[in-house]
Amino acid sequence: MPDFRQPSFHGIIGIAREEITPPVGIYARNWGASDHDIVDDVHRPLTATAITMRTSADASPLVLISLDLGWWRRKEDEWFIRGYVIEQLNLDPARVIVALTNTHSGPSICMEDADKPGGNLIRPYLNLVRDNVLRIVREAFRTAKPATLAWSYGRCRLAKNRDQWDPVRNAFLCGFDERSPADPVLLVGLIVSDEGTTIGTIVNYACAPTSLGWENRVISPDYIGSMRELVEENTKALCMFLQGASGEMAPKDQYASDTEIADRNGRELGYAVLSTLQSMMPPGFKLHHGRTIHSDADLAIWDYVEDQPSSSIEATIHTVEVPLKPMPSVEEVEEKMRLSEDRTMIERLRRERHVLHTVGSEETVRVPVWLWVAGDTLFLGCPGQPYSLLQRHLRLHFVDKAVVAINIANGWYGYLPPRELYDKEVYSVHETPFAKGSLEFMIHGSLNQFERLCKLNPAVYA
């Protein structure tokens, strides 16, 4: 009978954090319905967390960075952060992922908003973020030690399907529909040094941080803050959150102005994380069926025995040629903005213009996807918001791996809904620049590339 292993990677691993809370008064209008532009207070601090992984002290590292921020409007602002770290540390661009948690209660990170109330604070704030990100990557390298990263899947019902059909309006809303499928899968990573000390955890879960809505006037990491606090109190180690493939996923209790709603949602996820951690085998061990005891029934006895997790790493940037919908020109959108007096409509048009600047005016756009294989772990970083079909499909295909799907990684292009929704008036279909079938293109291409990367190293490909 084969041994039972949990997906793992062994190497030299480091983790570090800095706070990146913006100043009160910064421009922070994330909702079209908001009647305010700036924030009054801070609910919980925003943070930047970095994890570095390498096979040996002189090997090229993987650098994974998570920022408590919303989404990128312009690719120039995203590169302002990521490009600086790559250039300063002479890193391989294929081995650097800067992911945003997607909080909807963060500051503007668009330098084009400099003319807005509090917009003068945006560039100094992004300078702070850039400096702190560089600092934590250096600190993660400095403190890195031989360790094992082990993974286990759990479940959490915080996320619901937000594509809600309203029979009265005969339209889809962004709400929640308990009858529609929602991916409850939670992936938790535990990093333990060779000396047996827990040095970090990773939480990969798909749920848009929209607990707080358009009336909220405070900076907040949303539910991620209280989740992280609960996990760190119990593990005595830093916790990194990675937003999963959450295109259609959001909490049932959302759009609130009461920060307790965000904290309660976070505790629901946090307790699920702690439960998953309790179910894990000790990193560096596997279960071996060594004997059978004859009793009223024949009892299979499984024992923990030492294991040798893989220490191999592969990384690539895979480019997917994605078809675009017919769209207006930038000039047409700007003309609509000039003529409109509706504050909400102007905000929608501003976002549409940003997307058009990113994808261009051709019939297709080449979307980069970051694919890493670290031991038994598959990391996929997508600069957009795919639906959960992406992670579900990959996890069904690679059943013996830990599949870490990361939304809003190294940029933002738009939503990636499944093809069957394109005949419906769903928000994500209306907002996306991508044509029908784009998500399926990405899934198919990523699956094939992961198979190729795994086969490059037979020790990884089981």
Given a cut of 70, is residue 301 above it in pLDDT?
A: yes
CA Rg, the chain, in Å?
Answer: 22
For residue 325, the model assigns a pLDDT of: 85
pLDDT of residue 333: 65
Confidence of residue 459 (pLDDT cuts 50, 70, 90): very low
The answer to whether the beta carbons of residues 362 and 352 sit under 8 Å apart is: no
Mean pLDDT of 372-387: 97
Q: What angle do CA 58, 148, 381 make, to 5 degrees?
A: 75
Quote the distance between the C-alpha of residue 169 and its chain's center: 33
146-178, pLDDT tens digit by residue?
999 999 999 999 999 999 998 888 889 999 888
What is the model's pLDDT at position 457?
A: 52
Instruction: Enter the tokens of residue 412.
Output: 């933002």
Going by C-beta distance under 8 Å and a sequence separation of 6 or more, which residues neighbour residue 230?
266, 267, 270, 271, 273, 274
Say whether pLDDT at 94 is over 70: yes
State the DSSP code for 32. T
Q: Is pLDDT above 90 for 206?
A: yes
The domain containing residue 188 runs over which residues? 8-283
Predicted local distance difference test score (pLDDT) of residue 42: 97
Q: Is residue 433 part of a domain?
A: no
Provide the token pair at 271. Answer: 């307790």
Enumerate residues 6+ apart whose C-beta is below 8 A from 333.
349, 352, 353, 356
Q: How many CB atoms lie within 10 A of CB 131?
A: 12
Question: Cα angle at 282 between 278 and 288, to 5 degrees?
Answer: 115
The tokens describing 247, both together, are 């295109």
Report residue 358's pLDDT band, with 50, 70 and 90 as the boundaries: confident
Give the SS3 label for residue 27.
strand
- Domain contains 219: yes
Residue 132 resides in a domain: yes
Give DSSP secondary structure letters for 414-459: -EE--GGGTTS--HHHHH--BPTTHHHHHHHHHHHHHHHHHHHSTT
pLDDT at 461 over 70: no
**Residue 177 domain-assigned (yes or no):** yes
Q: What pTM was estimated for this model as a whole?
A: 0.94
235 neighbors 199 (Cβ within 8 angstroms): no
The pLDDT assigned to 335 comes to 75
- Reply yes or no on whether the pLDDT at 28 is more than 90: yes
Cα 115 to the center of its chain, rounded Å: 30
Query: Could you read off the pLDDT of 400-418 as tens digits, one per residue?
Result: 999 999 999 999 989 999 9
pLDDT at 177: 87
CA of 323: how far to CAs of 98, 307, 390, 405, 440, in Å? 25, 45, 18, 22, 11
Strand ranges in 144-297 using DSSP code E only, listed in sequence order: 145-155, 159-161, 163-166, 171-174, 185-193, 198-205, 218-219, 238-243, 249-251, 285-294
Please classify residue 309 by burial: count the beta carbons closer than 10 Å to its beta carbon, then call 0-12 exposed, 13-18 middle and 19+ buried.
Answer: buried
What's the pLDDT at 462? Answer: 42
The residues near 376 (Cβ < 8 Å, ≥ 6 apart) are 5, 7, 8, 9, 151, 309, 310, 400, 401, 402, 460, 462
pLDDT above 90 as % of the chain: 81
Q: Is residue 347 part of a domain?
A: no
Q: Is 305 domain-assigned?
A: no
pLDDT averaged over every residue in the chain: 93
**Mean pLDDT (whole number) for 205-224:** 97
* Residue 312 is assigned to a structural domain of this protein: no
Residue with the larger pLDDT of the pair 100 and 172: 100
- Judged against a pLDDT cut of 90, whether residue 119 lies above it is answered with yes
Residue 456 has pLDDT above 70, yes or no: no
Q: For position 241, what pLDDT does the model report?
A: 98
Question: According to the model, what pLDDT value does residue 439 have?
Answer: 97
Tokens of 200: 């970090």
The pLDDT tens digits of the residues spanning 46-70 come to: 999 999 999 998 999 999 999 999 9
Question: Measured in whole angstroms, how far is the alpha carbon of residue 210 from the centre of its chain?
Answer: 14
Q: Which residues share a beta bridge with 166?
A: 171
**Choice between 16 and 328, residue whose per-residue pLDDT is larger:** 16
Total tally of structural domains belonging to the chain? 1
How far apart, in whole angstroms, are the C-alpha atoms of residue 126 and residue 128?
A: 5
The structure tokens listed for 248 are 């259609």
Instruction: Enumerate residues 6+ apart whose C-beta is below 8 A from 175.
Output: 162, 164, 166
Task: Give yes or no for residue 210 having a pLDDT over 70.
Answer: yes
Q: How many C-beta neighbours within 10 Å does residue 149 have?
A: 27
Is 173 among the domain residues? Answer: yes
